[in-house]
Structure 1
Amino acid sequence: MGSAHTRDETVERAEQAAAELAGAGIDAVALGWVDNAGITRTKAVPVARLPHAVRYGIGASPCFDSFLADDSMAPGGGPVGDLRLVPDLDALVPLAAQPGWAWAPVDRRRQDGAAHPGCQRWFARRTERALAARGLDVRAGFEIEWVVDRDGPPEGGSAYGMDRLVERSDYLLDVLRALEAQQLAVLQIHPEYTPGQFEVSVAADTPVRAADTSLLVRQTVRAVSARHGLRTSFAPVVAPDGVGNGCHLHLSLWQDGRNLHAGGPGPHGLTEQAAAFLAGILEELPALLVLGAPSPASHLRLVPGRWSGPYRCWGLENREAALRLITGSAPDQANAEVKCFDPAANPYLALGGALAAGLAGLDAGLKLPPEVPGDPAREPGVERLPHSPAAALSALRACAPLRTALGEELYHAVLDVREAEIARYGGLDAQQLVAATRWRY
């Protein structure tokens, strides 16, 4: 629940919101959170029960911290204990593509009302507040890619082709209209490279809100797709030898209303603070893959030549670099894009982890290494990101800043899930791995 309101005020707001929703024909509210495997989970309440959910929360087992992508559990997950799911009224929205439904993300709390240490949304909020305590704000947004089909091979057409837009023009218009009806400012929507693949970008927001929005976008895409008789996949890879789905994270650091990625003395206008922030992210990128590209299938996507950002380097408009600098056409548009993240990520973990790494870079006064201006594959000495989930996990174990930021309970929960998924999927070849994960995300 929003920190700007007392509990009684928030319950009063919930009563008003429930009345307004009921008057608009809304019967139920879906409450959403994302587990450590990157799967969005939900419980729902009748709209009249929304004030009760805000006051007392909805019960949910802590075992969800141990769930894998296939709904099995890592060792340690069990039947004992209970948490409370508390909806955030500030993000409550009627769902345009699911008539009669509204949606809100939740904070997971303990029975005494304190934040659950394993709550990924709370982790993202903590890192956002840590930057705010230094007088810094972050604007963030995700580019989201997905693939649709009709239970057969993905459709054909040209990469970014108008033919694909023509074939799916009604579908894309329905996606666009649903997003805009939910007060989301769509910047772009278009066909992507892979057959049946599309991408949407929405306006940047504060970090936690950006993560909330990424969930709302995906839920809306799924709902519109279902109405068109289409299956939707946000999996990192939908074909073993094809270009996968990215979920690129865009970030810009601000202070007193000024974008610190523009007008500074550093490379391409970076200020010293923005450069240190990005240097921190670049420093911890191998460990950040555990949060931002978490599935064993994620590493099938991180292949040179596919613009997935498989190299641990940065460059101006360099789409093969894991960290792409964008100056834009105006100072307020300058930002950096983390290209190696994908939609299997829990967005709160991915965003919170990137902020924590950037904050560590600020505290240490890190400097960006030399820019890679061309194809990293042709530049001597440019490091590849970890080639396997086990290698990324080793990097996280050695990463003190992320362990500290996550806190011991969330840190170990993430490790347990990743280790269990490595064990579960480690013996599969690429084709089998894609088949096992394609429709899980």
Structure 2
Amino acid sequence: MQGHGLANGHCCSGRCNPGGSVLHQAVNGEGEVKFVRLLWVDTSGIRRCRVVPRCKWEEVCKSGLGLATAAMALQAWADVLAPLSGLTVTGELRLMPQSHDIRQLPWHPAHAISCGELHESPGKPSSLCPRAALQRALDAALDQHGLEFQVGFETEFFLLRRDLQASQPPSLTLDGPDVVMQVGQKARRAVPEPVDMLSYCSSRALDACSQVLDDIMDALEQLGIPVVQFHAESAPGQFEIVASHGDPFMAASDLVMTRETIACIAQRHGLLASFLPKLFKDGCASGCHCHISIIKDGENLMNTRGSEHGLSDTAAAFLAGLLHHLPGLMCFTLGSVNSFERIKPSSWSGSFQVWGVQNKEATLRLCGHPGVSGSANVELKALDATANPYVALAAIITAGLQGITSGARLPPPVNVDPALLSRQERQDQGITALPANMGEALAALKADTALVAALEEVLGADLVKAVRGVRAGENDHFSKASFEEVVAEVYDRY
């Protein structure tokens, strides 16, 4: 829930990159490293990895590992190819490690880890590569408008006890050539109990999980991921970690590494960490709020003196574009049908298409630290851990650039809870609700032809089609499922 203070400038000072020494160990046979994990995130937001022995590292850096193209269209509920993704069982990608960013795992020192890129051939990024999509978006912002960004993420998650019946495998049936998971009683798995039933910022909740949280913090520090603060959140067994801001690539990679760290450390303590947005129907949900500052020539354009709310004309147009395109954009920032269970009125999740100044109910919240120069940023609430962070950031930047190109203008800020206004008051102020489910978001994206065209130009038509196909596949699969059935199938996938 806490805002980030995003400083002026386009790089984050003080960030450590342990990659050099670890890479030296991996290549030259020194130290403890025996294996290197190549980690990537697919279009359904699932973290996946391959592992190579140290002796093969140099070879893999040159030629990569073969990966089926279809791996970028697998669905979260089962490893089934999304029918509308445009991808088939033919084709291969090369999974290429990023040798400049390789980190030794504190909880498993024999293993190092590197975020992988998807290439058509070594040195030629694939049109399906999420990291390449983000780079194209950043290049477009810099080349067209001289803009750079600082980004910070909030990671919310649940800690669950593993001592229930969650280990029972789901039932599968064969339907033609594909394996289809039943949406019925036989496929249900018991969701483990949360570690506590305590409240927001409860010191008792921290004390109860102090050992696992301390180990997570120690591991993040060793991985070079600065943490601003952490606390217990409102839902049972829910916690939040706020990472420091940085350039978009480092922020996204650190976010992926943070989730991996939380999951692995929790498992070593006999717990299950779940990043699924909504685990308990009557409880609060987990998001991944994204804080963005827009930088030009070293100046934070969201902290301009003499302008309304501190926003320069460029920053205001960027936010206007982001706000205007948000209904369709949600297909790229919310990856699961469960995501929309979080986006509810009066829940601090931003369920209306509005922006506001320090308004927790605004889906775009202008915030910053009072009296701290350069800390102004905008918080986007419609983002969670079921989205690929590289793709999400690329789409967010693209939508904002559309606002600058079209000369979009921000409507007046809304600084009340829109749900408390009457229907007529909302209508008079032009306040509309955001999509309430994945089907509505897909329809909004289809109708937003300008956004689709921009996304296809910057992210690439193949990646856009794969994302849309995976979302449609999930929406179709869970079309008749209850809230509890959806949670039971995917709570341990994220």
Q: TM-score, normalised by structure 1?
A: 0.94
Task: After TM superposition, give the deviation of residue 300 of structure 1 in Å.
Answer: 0.8
CA distance in 1 between counterparts of 2:57 and 2:324 reads 43
The equivalent of 1:48 in structure 2 is 55
Would the aligned equivalents of 2:24 and 2:30 in 1 still touch at CA under 8 Å? Answer: no
Does structure 1 retain, via aligned residues, the 8 Å contact 2:22–2:112?
no
Contact 2:22 2:104 in 1 (8 A): no
RMSD of aligned residue pairs (Cα, Å): 1.7
What amino acid is aligned across from residue 289 of structure 1 in structure 2? Answer: M
Take 1:376 and 1:241, find their aligned partners in 2: how far apart are those partners?
21
8 Å contact 2:159–2:271 — kept in the other structure?
A: yes
Aligned counterparts, 1:166-315, within 5 A: 166-315=207-356
Cα contact 2:229–2:241 (8 A) shared by 1: yes
Structure 2: how far apart are the matches of 1:338 and 1:286? 13
- Aligned-residue offset at 1:260: 0.9
Taking the TM superposition and a 5 Å limit, the aligned residue runs for 1:353-432 are 353-379=395-421, 380-381=425-426, 382-399=431-448, 400=450, 401-432=454-485
Please report how far the alpha carbon of residue 36 of structure 1 lies from its aligned counterpart in structure 2 after TM superposition: 0.8
Partner of 1:59: 66
Stretches of structure 1 that go unaligned for 5 or more consecutive residues are 1-11
**1: distance between equivalents of 2:441 and 2:206?**
37
- Give unpaired runs (5+ residues) of structure 2: 1-19, 163-191
Residues 265 and 271, structure 1, Cα contact 8 Å, conserved in 2:
no
Deviations 1:368-395 (A, max 9, x none): 1110011111232221110110110112
Query: What SS is found at the alignment partner of 1:103?
Result: strand
Contact 2:332 2:391 in 1 (8 A): yes
C-alpha contact (below 8 Å) 2:26/2:34 kept by paired residues = no
Give the CA deviation at 1:233. Answer: 0.3
Q: Distance in 2 between matches of 1:259 and 1:174?
A: 35
Which runs of structure 2 are paired with 1:43-192 in the superposition (5 Å)? 43-70=50-77, 71-75=79-83, 77-111=87-121, 113-133=123-143, 134-151=145-162, 152-154=192-194, 155-192=196-233
The CA distance in 1 between the partners of 2:381 and 2:159, in whole Å, is 22
State the one-letter code of the partner of 2:157.
W
Residue 336 of structure 1 aligns to which amino acid in structure 2? V
Q: Does structure 1 residue 328 correspond to structure 2 residue 328?
A: no
SS of 2:136 mapped into structure 1: helix
**1:9 alignment counterpart:** none
Report the CA distance shift for 1:378/1:337 in structure 2 as closer, same or farther (over 3 A). same
Partners of 2:98 and 2:117 within 8 A in 1: yes
Q: d(CA) in 2 for partners of 1:378 and 1:247?
A: 25
Number of aligned residues: 429
Is the CA contact 1:249–1:339 (under 8 Å) kept in the aligned structure 2? yes
By how many angstroms is 1:158 displaced? 2.3
Q: CA shift at 1:77, angstroms?
A: 4.4
User: Distance between the aligned counterparts of 1:107 and 1:267, measured in 2?
Assistant: 41
Aligned to 2:26: 18
- After superposition, the Cα gap between the structure-2 partners of 1:157 and 1:17, relative to the gap in structure 1 and judged at 3 Å, is same
Q: Specify the code of the residue in structure 1 equivalent to 2:469.
A: D
In the alignment, the residues of structure 2 paired with residue 92 and residue 16 of structure 1 have an alpha-carbon distance, to the nearest angstrom, of 10
Partner residue in 2 for 1:351: 393
1:30 and 2:72 equivalent?
no
- Asked which structure has the greater RCO (Cα within 8 Å, sep 6+), the reply is 2
Q: Can you list the C-alpha shifts for 1:342-375, whole angstroms capped at 9, x where unaligned?
A: 1111101111111111111111221111100111
Question: Which whole-Å CA distance do the structure 2 matches of 1:266 and 1:108 have between them?
Answer: 43
Please point out which of 28, 38, 46 is paired with 1:39. 46
What is the rounded CA distance, in whole Å, between the counterparts of 1:393 and 1:160 in structure 2? Answer: 36
1:265 to partner: Cα distance: 3.5
The answer as to whether partners of 1:297 and 1:437 remain within 8 angstroms in 2 is: no
Aligned mates of 2:93, 2:25 — CA distance in 1 = 24
Q: Equivalent residue of 1:109, what SS? A: strand
